[in-house]
């Protein structure tokens, strides 16, 4: 594969279907990508499948509400290319390791269960029964159930993930690391401390009622394109959209509705953000603290002059705890600290505060720019503080909205994929299934990898995902996986995790969300939960590529049956009829009354959110203000002498570790991924030029060298001292021991680094 690489600023609006034809051409046999996709959707007379793209909600107005990147996700899954046993016979694992992630993904769908043979360094076909027996013999041979880890990536259905955790706990462990540990963990932890529930408090139609929407550390144009519709509609009716983003992101500036082709080709595209601020990496907490300082001053002035108070004092009095301590800490925080840490001027912060003040109803949304720092929990809580002062909970058009990543990552948590499961969940499983679940907390993702490195974990089972590439500190992560006695990957596509096998390894090919799932009692549907706590059914339509592929649910049941037999449950009966699984969910998880019946509700049903109804399940029974001081420094280092802070982020043509193509159109990058965005003045100061290649080195305190090289410099609108490059190519730079306080989330958005000119590209594997 040859790609023309160039850097060419993008001047259009976000939202057209731009590169879709190009990126999906390889996938469909014909070039009629869009009509193929439409057909796929039309065939579907039943429930429809949930887009595996992201966790944004569905509005029920349009039947084909589907974005460019959702289309990529669906078409990539629907590829007719297959990675069959012959492929593995031809390529050794060592040879495959030399290939790029793009190459691996491009080979197509996994079709047959495969077992790794160490002697030949190749995967060989194995029957499903033999695969399940191998897993059972390893698991049963462990001295302690905690020597196994059960990873989940957030695409798994409610049904599969529920049974997976029930099985893991019956087996005897709470070791459920998941992608959420690397993602929105801080949102869950922070919101729970503040308002008693770790989920967003708004519903999709609140966007139609808000007067202002503040978007922190998020790039919806690429990662949640359907959110642009909500933002555009809000902006069109006069609501203010205020963006805080370290980079100038096209999708936050202007958006053309792809359903209105004229907009895409003419300059009619609507403006999204009425104000755009570019804080330093990790500077959002300081920026919000600054806004509150301005608002507090105004509040006091109004009271002094006998006017109505600015803050919602009734709301605070009735619902909140700790406001005085919080306002004390706001008073103690100096403007010097605020402007230094946020990188914004006092003027900009005052301007943002003014927009906030004029809005009656405010929504705050956020994503990875907030959650992947050392001080992410206090930052999430600072956003909440701001909203609480103005009573922005429990009213339409207002609230807190962490925008989730994987399409069912929120549902997985609801289903009990949680290494620190709450007591009521464990009690309820114990009562219903009549077994004694383990009570001590299990491993999160970083802890699981550390335990594997120490040789304490022998078996890793992964329900989806690509831990080898998604986790930090790539060489250490790969070592951790290879240390295991057995690694099992339940996957749709070939990826790097298959190429870092344990002493023994299995690849179990699974059906995707878009595919027909036929079981003994007929075609099955599954359910998922979106970012707005809406649960809905999803039923695939595509004909599976191979009769050997099994559904995730059937695979989980197959493993559980081989390990536990019928001691607690008839697993195979559950695999035959998913309604029975939903009955168990109804009996053990709150909010799922009449679950099976409510699956027929078009658009799904709402799980509810206590905080949105002003019931706060916190120890104080109130919403708690957080009185945390600003962190001493935003990069997780003992000294401040790192010349640069690097964030690792997504391009437009990728889904996490899945690389669809090599363009990042809104950022003007074509045919390449190894680029490093840098401020032009920083370039000049270093005596470097656009297009030169550099080596990036992490400055960390454990004596381990972390370097990647051959990254092309691209001048960009980014704060001085900040850099940006794509994930997963830069994961070798993220130290496993650098993670968020209280979350263990790798600090993927604040890595202290130095850069220097390099001549050659050291690592050839990454060249497509």
Q: Which residues bind Mo ion (CB under 5 A)?
A: 183, 405
CA pair distance 208, 292, nearest whole angstrom: 26
Q: Which helix (H) or strand (E) element contains residue 756?
A: strand 751-757
Among 187, 527, 738, 748, binds ligand MGD (CB under 6 A): 748
CA pair distance 507, 505, nearest whole angstrom: 7
Nearest Cα to Cα of residue 108 among 729, 517, 550, 546: 546
Least Å from the CB of residue 597 to ligand MGD: 26
- CB 323, CB 295: distance < 8 Å: no
Specify the residue, 183 or 320, whose C-beta has the smaller distance to Mo ion. 183
Least Å from the CB of residue 725 to Mo ion: 18
Near ligand MGD by CB under 6 A, which window of 179-187, 384-392, 436-444, 572-580? 179-187
Specify the residue, 440 or 632, whose C-beta has the smaller distance to ligand MGD. 632
Near ligand MGD by CB under 6 A, which window of 82-90, 119-127, 675-683, 725-733? 725-733
Choose the contact partner of 449 out of Mo ion, ligand MGD, none; CB within 5 to 8 A by kind.
Answer: none
What is the Cα 295 distance to its own chain's centre? 33
Choose the contact partner of 169 out of ligand MGD, Mo ion, none; CB within 5 to 8 A by kind.
Answer: none
Least Å from the CB of residue 246 to ligand MGD: 4
CA pair distance 299, 305, nearest whole angstrom: 10
Among 194, 222, 392, 698, binds ligand MGD (CB under 6 A): 222
Residue 513 touching ligand MGD (CB under 6 A): yes
Binding characters for ligand MGD, 51-90, by CB under 6 A (x = yes): --xx--------------x---------------------
Nearest Cα to Cα of residue 710 among 726, 694, 730, 732: 694
CA pair distance 391, 397, nearest whole angstrom: 12
Residue 250 touching ligand MGD (CB under 6 A): no
Binding characters for ligand MGD, 192-221, by CB under 6 A (x = yes): ------------------------xxxx--
Binding characters for ligand MGD, 617-656, by CB under 6 A (x = yes): ------------------------------xxxx---xxx
Residue 405 touching ligand MGD (CB under 6 A): yes
Which DSSP category does 496 fall into?
G
Nearest Cα to Cα of residue 341 among 632, 694, 648, 738: 632
CA pair distance 532, 205, nearest whole angstrom: 10
Choose the contact partner of 648 out of ligand MGD, Mo ion, none; CB within 5 to 8 A by kind.
Answer: ligand MGD
What is the Cα 392 distance to its own chain's centre? 25
Least Å from the CB of residue 103 to Mo ion: 24
Near ligand MGD by CB under 6 A, which window of 297-305, 364-372, 566-574, 603-611? 364-372
Instruction: Report strand pairing: 707-715 vs 693-698.
Output: antiparallel
Instruction: Report strand pairing: 644-649 vs 654-655.
Output: unpaired
Residue 734 touching ligand MGD (CB under 6 A): yes
Binding characters for ligand MGD, 428-467, by CB under 6 A (x = yes): -----------------------------------xxxxx
Among 244, 255, 326, 532, binds ligand MGD (CB under 6 A): 244
Q: Helix 185-195 and helix 376-389: axis angle, to 10°?
A: 40
Nearest Cα to Cα of residue 269 among 280, 260, 279, 282: 260
Structure tokens at 356: 């906030």
Residue 24 touching ligand MGD (CB under 6 A): no
Helix/strand/coil percent split, the chain, to 5: 40, 15, 45
Among 24, 158, 165, 246, binds ligand MGD (CB under 6 A): 246
Specify the residue, 203 or 493, whose C-beta has the smaller distance to ligand MGD. 493
- CB 376, CB 182: distance < 8 Å: no
Least Å from the CB of residue 300 to ligand MGD: 28
Among 20, 33, 51, 179, binds ligand MGD (CB under 6 A): 179
Residues 6 or more apart whose Cβ sits within 8 Å of residue 278? 244, 245, 246, 247, 248, 343, 344, 717, 718, 719
In angstroms, the Cα distances linking 755 to 233, 246, 585, 645, 710 are 42, 20, 51, 11, 11
| Residues found near ligand MGD in the complex (CB under 6 A) | 53-54, 69, 153, 155, 179, 182-183, 216-219, 222-224, 244-247, 249, 279, 281-282, 284, 367-369, 372, 405-406, 463-467, 470, 490-493, 495, 510, 512-513, 552, 647-650, 654-658, 727, 730-731, 734, 748-749
């Amino acid at each position: 594969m040859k790609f023309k690489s160039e850097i060419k600023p993008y001047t259009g609006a976000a939202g057209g279907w731009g590169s879709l034809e190009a990126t999906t051409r390889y996938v469909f046999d014909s070039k009629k990508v869009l009509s193929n996709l439409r057909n796929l959707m039309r065939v579907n007379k039943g429930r429809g499948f949930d887009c595996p793209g992201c966790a944004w909600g569905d509005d029920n107005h349009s039947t084909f509400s589907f974005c460019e990147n959702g289309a990529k996700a669906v078409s990539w899954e629907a590829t007719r290319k297959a990675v069959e046993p012959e492929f593995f016979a031809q390529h050794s694992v060592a040879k495959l390791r030399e290939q790029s992630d793009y190459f691996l993904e491009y080979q197509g769908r996994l079709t047959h269960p495969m077992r790794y043979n160490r002697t030949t360094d190749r995967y060989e076909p194995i029957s499903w029964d033999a695969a399940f027996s191998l897993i059972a013999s390893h698991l049963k041979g462990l001295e302690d159930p905690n020597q196994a880890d059960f990873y989940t990536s957030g695409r798994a259905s409610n049904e599969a993930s529920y049974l997976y955790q029930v099985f893991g706990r019956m087996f005897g462990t709470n070791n459920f690391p998941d992608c959420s540990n690397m993602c929105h963990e801080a949102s869950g932890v922070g919101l729970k401390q503040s308002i008693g529930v770790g989920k967003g408090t708004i519903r999709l139609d609140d966007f139609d009622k808000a007067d202002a929407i503040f978007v922190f550390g998020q790039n919806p144009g690429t990662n949640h394109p359907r959110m642009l519709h909500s933002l555009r509609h809000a902006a069109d009716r006069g609501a203010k959209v205020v963006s805080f983003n370290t980079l100038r992101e096209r999708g936050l500036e202007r958006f053309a509705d792809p359903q209105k082709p004229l907009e895409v080709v003419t300059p009619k595209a609507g403006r999204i953000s009425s104000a755009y601020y570019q804080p330093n990496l990790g500077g959002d907490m300081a920026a919000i603290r600054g806004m509150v300082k301005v608002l507090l001053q105004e509040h006091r002035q109004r009271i002094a002059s006998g006017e109505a108070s600015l803050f919602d004092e009734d709301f605070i009095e009735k619902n909140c705890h700790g406001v005085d301590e919080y306002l004390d800490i706001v008073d103690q925080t100096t403007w010097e600290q605020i402007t230094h840490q946020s990188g914004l001027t006092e003027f900009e912060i005052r301007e943002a505060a003014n927009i906030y003040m004029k809005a009656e109803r405010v929504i705050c949304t956020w994503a990875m720019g907030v959650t992947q720092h050392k001080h992410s929990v206090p930052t999430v809580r600072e956003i909440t503080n701001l909203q609480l002062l103005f009573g922005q909970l429990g009213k339409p058009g207002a609230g807190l909205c962490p925008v989730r990543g994987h399409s069912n990552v929120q549902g997985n948590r609801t289903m009990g994929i949680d290494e620190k499961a709450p007591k009521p969940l464990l009690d309820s499983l114990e009562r219903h299934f009549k077994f004694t679940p383990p009570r001590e907390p299990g491993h999160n993702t970083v802890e699981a990898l550390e335990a594997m490195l120490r040789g304490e974990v022998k078996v890793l089972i992964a329900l989806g995902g690509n831990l080898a590439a998604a986790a930090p500190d790539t060489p250490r992560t790969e070592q951790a996986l290879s240390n295991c006695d057995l690694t099992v990957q339940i996957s749709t596509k070939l990826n790097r995790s298959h190429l870092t096998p344990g002493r023994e390894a299995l690849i179990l090919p699974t059906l995707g969300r878009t595919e027909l799932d036929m079981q003994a009692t007929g075609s099955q549907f599954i359910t998922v939960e979106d970012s707005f706590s809406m649960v809905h059914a999803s039923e695939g339509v595509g004909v599976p590529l191979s009769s050997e592929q099994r559904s995730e649910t059937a695979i989980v049941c197959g493993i559980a049956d081989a390990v536990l037999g019928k001691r607690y449950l008839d697993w195979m009966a559950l695999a035959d009829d998913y309604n029975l699984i939903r009955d168990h969910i109804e009996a053990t998880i709150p909010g799922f009354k009449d679950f099976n019946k409510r699956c027929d509700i078009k658009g799904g049903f709402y799980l509810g959110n206590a905080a949105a109804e002003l019931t706060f399940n916190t120890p104080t029974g109130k919403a708690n203000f957080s009185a945390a001081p600003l962190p001493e420094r935003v990069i997780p280092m003992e000294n401040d002498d790192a010349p640069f802070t690097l964030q690792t982020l997504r391009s437009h043509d990728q889904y996490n570790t899945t690389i669809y193509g090599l363009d990042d159109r809104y950022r003007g990058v074509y045919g390449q991924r190894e680029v490093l965005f840098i401020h032009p003045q920083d370039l000049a100061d270093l005596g470097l030029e656009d297009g030169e290649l550099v080596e990036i080195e992490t400055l960390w305190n454990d004596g381990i060298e972390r370097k990647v090289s051959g990254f092309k410099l691209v001048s960009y609108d980014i704060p001085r001292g900040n850099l940006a490059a794509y994930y997963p190519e830069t994961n070798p730079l993220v130290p496993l021991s650098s993670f968020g306080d209280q979350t263990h989330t790798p600090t993927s958005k604040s890595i202290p680094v130095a850069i220097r000119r390099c001549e050659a590209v050291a690592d050839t594997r990454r060249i497509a």
